[in-house]
Structure 1
Amino acid sequence: MASLSEVVTTARDYVDVPTILVAACACLLTFLYLQWPKNLPPGPWGWPLLGNIPMLAKCAFVPATFTELSKQYGDVMTVWIGRDVNIIISGYKTIRNALVKRADEFSSRRIFPAVADLRGPGDTSTSTKGVLFAAYGPDWKHQRKFALMTLRDFGVGKRSLEGKIREEADALIQEVESKNGLKFDIKQMLPNAVSNVICSIAFGNRFEYGDPEFLRLIGLMNAAVEAQPSRDILPNIHPVFRRLPFGSPHQDKLVDLTLGLQVFCSEQIEKHRETFDPNDIRDFIDAFLLEQRQAQDERARENFTDKQLQELLFDLFIAGTETTATTTRWALLYMILNPDIQEKVRQEIDSVLGQAFPSYDQRNNMPYTTATLAEVHRINTIVPLTVPHAASKDTTLNGYSIPADATLFFNLWSIHMDPQLFPEPDKFNPDRFLDQNGNFVKHEALVPFSIGHRVCLGEQLARMELFLLFVSLMQRFTFHLPEGAPVPSTVGHFGGIVNVPHPFDMCAIPRE
């Protein structure tokens, strides 16, 4: 019988370090495979641990890549971000089936882990405060109903709000006029106007553009959007990387910015509490504080905490400012690139309004301008993959398993760039939204604000602001590229949520 030392010696003759490593990797991959949910949708091959991160890192524009991949793998596709399952849902019929016909199953949220960490104790990838990232259920429905009713009470969707937007449009026009026809980047000006409308609703007053407190708010919002959470690769591979002491410069920046916005909102809440009068409800914060005082049962008190108000304000500013400001930038870029369309828009504005300030109701008399803005929404969707969704429970779609812990992205880009729905989708063509008599025609597949239960809370406000700001600028200026400037790209920068144009300069020539 062989001794132990002989057995060990014999084993060494047949097993070397490379063999051990191969065996260990095989065991690890087998373990990971056995952990995967069964019957997942098909998708591109991914690397162990990394998944499809290397492929996505090479993409010029991720939503367009997903749209191309869907032609190979189908409308329901799996993409691995590290160890996390991400289901990409494309195509109008499939998206409508999920978000409208089966809304109760597909209307929950999947908050980015980094954002969940920052929003405080109790917030997880499936449960958080606010409205934007809150899980689908009774508490979310209650908060959304309150937010919608309060926004309407303070003018959203009504003519009473137009005076506030007009005030911001006038201030924006003065800023543009101060450039004296020389080149400038309008990127910093537009958030000032848009966020001041939100300030009027949320805080009861606007800020002067030079106000240090206002500059602080704008700086925090701009930087927070640019520091989108999906840019951190390591935390997507495994949560432990979020806890490492060395962190990442980008993650540290996101932490600082988010905490700064939270502090700003908390300060505004305390100022309102000191001057609160239940008989004089001035704004959104006062309306919330009144609900807080009137809460009768424990559940109502849990829904109307200071933390909830802070996160509601956070959602209103982040979602309501950047999207509208960015859409307006895209609109001006396409006017610069298409001077013939710019001239048609201007002629219609002159014939209907002259120099009178526009009213949102007058969009019905301005079909070409309305069609132009619809085409802006289509050709460069601002939130092309929607805010991340989640299924309310384990379910199926198109015959494939959809786990409740998967992140769901609804690819609106695939709808708006579908040649079957919108012929020559790469061409900027407002005429696609006009009938033979020149009347504006809505297209059911134009869904820039998404569809179903999670349709954008601020859609009415965003549409009103965009129309009034765009028409006001087109009334007063002719926009063109600076002499000798390169033609700006129409491929946006997509950091995970918002599709923004790359920086570009313009000249604004005042009209006589």
Structure 2
Amino acid sequence: MSILLEVMTVSRHFGDLPLFLAATCVCLLTYLYLQRPRNLPPGPRGWPLLGNIPMVAKSAFLPATLAELSKRYGDVMTIWMGRVPAIVLSGYETIRTALVKRAEDFSSRKIPPVATMAGRDKGVLLAPYGPHWKHQRKFALMTLRDFGFGKRSLEGKITEETNALVQEILSYNGQPFDLKIMMQNAVSNIICSIVFGGRFEYGDPDFLRLIRLLNSVVEAKPSAIDRLEMIHPVFRCLRLIGTSKNGKVMRMIQTLQQFCREQIEKHRLTFDPNDIRDFIDAFLLEQQRAPEEQAREHFTDKQLQEVLMDLFVAGTETTATTTRWALLYMMLNPDIQEKVHQEIDSVLGQSAPSYAQRDLLPYTTATLAEVQRINSIVPLVVRGASRDTTFNGYNIPQEGRILINLWSVHMDPQLFPEPNTFQPERFLDKNGNFVKHEALIPFSMGHRICLGEQLAKMELFMLFVSLMQRFTFNLPEGAPEPSMLGKFGGVINVPFPFELCAVARC
């Protein structure tokens, strides 16, 4: 009764309650508008409070939508994710200027709130730019190189996993099957041998569960809570609801983190400073050697856990997905598949491939380059400004997000004519030699270029060549042609589920 009286009092005071509510909304929206940073880049008009979230939510493939909008608003553009501005950078020259020439300003990170709550702002992949990140990246790169990154010593591990994968594929005897899980097993085992010191059997139920969790985390789209929090931080409390989709993603991340903690504890029990077996041992050794203050800052168990997550997640999904895209394009382009077969047969015969032989296989190398161009695995890279800055005459606020649209570069007809056509020849000169293209940037560029770039290149080449050497890949009889658009959850551009037939060539 008291509430009703108050409402009636307010209504009489203002003359009309709907008018009062409308005036209140106008005042609130005006206040929020005045709080926006000034002189931001132009962009599409958004809804009050929601900004451009409805447009993003209904986009079939966000990188393509943003690339189309950039034709109207320019290569530096703003979209509003609720109250948070996202600065979209498109086009090769603009992206190169930001990530290379202005690297100190554009090398930080803005990560999803659920990842922050799970402690994923540590490590290397998602950590903010600064002295701590530089220290961790330098240590990770040096240690990984010690264990074979970019060296021929790593080829033995790749060959071992490739042989196991070939045997698994042969067991299907040319019948249709989905390659996804076994491809992830093979690729993850390569990184596991470096990071954890051992591999897992393909049928290991615990490992299969981890791979499925990895898929769920990588392919998860922003939840309703993510979008509500962009409107106002008060909605952050909804993350405590464990039954929500967001709660499920959190538990998946925590399960992967628990797996990494278990690996650390196993290594600690058998640690021998005179026998450094893998990345974990190298980190534990550094914990002992480093001065106490440095160890507390840079070499904690939490930091090791998150670096392991970075290496396991990034080292599995990107290469496995790229290889699956490559096989999908071979099935849909049998003439190109035949050219790859002929080149491999003429150069290698039945000999095992080596990464050093890529110059002898220019058409095969060009085919892989075209796969990475036409379907960017990470088409939209999320960055953050290290500080408030300006770019192309516009203000770039530190609290905003920066979206680097690599897809806009790879599909630029000025750089790559007929970009929707799968055409390996665009990476060959008139003599048939492979030619690098500076605008092919699947691993991004600048300070935060992919940590595992050298490993990924070696894995992709050796896996693809080995599989093409042994098999012809076809669509199952009567199966519809798979979509080539890709399923983009916000991080990785994965193919929609498909089956293939692998017919042994020898």
Q: Structures share a fold, TM > 0.5? A: yes
- The farther-off stretch of 432-441 and 252-261 is 252-261
Quick one: percent identity of the two aligned structures?
A: 70
Query: Which residue in the other structure is 1:129 paired with?
Result: 122
1:66–1:10: structure 2 CA closer, same or farther, 3 Å change rule?
closer
- Residues 343-383 of structure 1, C-alpha deviation per residue, up to 9 Å, x if partnerless? 00111000111111100000010000000000001000000
Residue deviations 1:376-409 (CA, integer Å, cap 9, x gap): 01000000111x2111111111111000111111
Q: Are residues 1:224 and 2:214 paired?
A: no
1:437 corresponds to 2:428: no
Q: Is the 8 A contact 1:241 1:247 kept in 2?
A: no
Gaps of 5+ in 1: 1-7
Q: 1:289 to 1:33 in 2, by over 3 A?
A: same
Match of residue 258 from structure 1: 253
Per-residue CA shift, 1:303-326, capped at 9, x if unaligned? Answer: 000000000000001111000110
Output the amino acid matched with 2:270.
T
Correspondence for 1:504: 498
Matched residue, 2:318: 323
Query: Residue type of the partner of 1:43?
Result: G
Distance 2:111 2:15 in 1: 46
Q: Distance in 2 between matches of 1:226 and 1:250?
A: 13
Is the CA contact (8 Å cut-off) linking 1:382 and 1:499 kept in structure 2? yes
Q: Cα gap change, 1:10/1:54 in structure 2, threshold over 3 Å: closer, same or farther?
A: closer
Q: Which moved more, 1:368-377 or 1:44-53?
A: 44-53
User: 1:77 corresponds to which letter in structure 2?
Assistant: M
* 1:301 Cα deviation after fit: 3.0
Select which of 146, 149, 152 maps to 1:153: 146
Offset, 1:292: 0.4
Map 1:6-45 to 2 at 5 A: 12=12, 15-45=15-45
| Correspondence for 1:182 among 175, 186, 190 | 175
Instruction: Tell me the secondary structure at the aligned position of residue 106 of structure 1.
Output: coil
- Are the aligned partners of 1:433 and 1:442 in contact in 2 as well (CA < 8 Å)? yes
Is 1:415 matched up with 2:432? no
How far the C-alpha of 1:230 sits from its partner, in A, is 5.8
Match of 1:214 in 2: 207
SS at match of 2:380: coil
Q: Which residue of 1 aligns with 2:421?
A: 427
Instruction: Quote how far apart the aligned CAs of 1:217 are.
Output: 2.6
Q: State the partner residue of 1:96.
A: 96
Per-residue CA deviation, residues 441-484 of structure 1 (Å, 9 max, x unaligned), is 00000000000000000000011111111111101110011111
Q: Aligned with 2:77: secondary structure?
A: strand
Deviation at 1:296, TM superposition (A): 1.2
Quick one: which of 194, 197, 212 aligns to 2:187?
194
Q: Find the partner of 1:365 among 360, 363, 368.
A: 360
Deviation at 1:504, TM superposition (A): 0.9
- Per the normalisation by structure 2, the TM-score is 0.95
Corresponding residue SS for 2:104: helix
For residue 13 of structure 1, report the CA deviation from its aligned partner.
9.5
Whether the 8 Å contact between 1:278 and 1:290 is mirrored in structure 2 is yes
Offset at residue 246 of structure 1 (A): 4.0
Residues 378 and 442, structure 2, Cα contact 8 Å, conserved in 1: yes
The residue type paired with residue 431 of structure 1 is E
1:289 and 2:279 aligned: no
1:453 to 2:447 alignment: yes
Show the counterpart of 1:5: none
* Distance 1:247-1:397 versus aligned 2 partners, 3 A rule: farther
- My pick for the range that moved more, 270-279 or 80-89, is 80-89
Q: Give the Å deviation of 1:270.
A: 0.4
Shift of 1:178: 1.1
Distance 2:259 2:207 in 1: 10
Mapped to 2, the partners of 1:448 and 1:284 lie a distance apart of 26
Name the TM-score, length of structure 1 as normaliser. Answer: 0.94
Offset of 1:36 from its aligned partner?
0.1
Residue 266 of structure 2 aligns to which amino acid in structure 1? Answer: K
- Matched with 1:495 is 489
Look up the SS of the partner of 2:176 in the other structure: coil
How far 1:280 sits from its partner (Å)? 0.3
Once the two structures are TM-superposed, the CA of residue 47 in structure 1 deviates from its matched residue by 1.0
State the distance in 2 between where 1:242 and 1:189 align: 38
Counterparts of 2:14 and 2:53, CA distance in 1: 37
Amino acid at match of 1:34: L
Amino acid at match of 2:54: P
1:397 aligns with 2:391: yes
Question: Does structure 1 retain, via aligned residues, the 8 Å contact 2:14–2:20?
Answer: no
Counterpart contact for 2:87–2:403, Cα < 8 Å: yes
Consecutive unaligned residues in structure 2, runs of 5 or more: 1-7
**Aligned AA for 1:176?**
I
Q: 1:9 to 1:385 in 2, by over 3 A?
A: closer
Aligned counterpart in structure 2 of residue 485 of structure 1, from 460, 467, 479: 479
Range moving further from structure 2, 10-19 or 198-207:
10-19
How far apart are 1:219 and its partner, in Å?
2.5
Contact 1:324 1:466 in 2 (8 A): yes
Matched, 1:463 2:457: yes
For residue 341 of structure 1, report the CA deviation from its aligned partner. 0.4
1:350 to 332, 337, 345: 345
The letter for the 2-side match of 1:73 is Y
Q: How many residues align?
A: 497
Q: Is the 8 A contact 1:115 1:229 kept in 2?
A: no
Q: 1:139 aligns with which of 123, 132, 157?
A: 132
SS in 2 for 1:104: coil
> Structure 2 CA distance, aligned partners of 1:235 and 1:109?
18
Query: Would you say 1:380 and 2:384 are equivalent positions?
Result: no
Task: Choose the corresponding residue for 2:166, options 151, 165, 173.
Answer: 173
Q: Secondary structure at the match of 1:383?
A: coil
Alpha-carbon separation, structure 1, partners of 2:168 and 2:33: 58
Rounded Cα–Cα distance in structure 1 between residues aligned with 2:322 and 2:230: 29
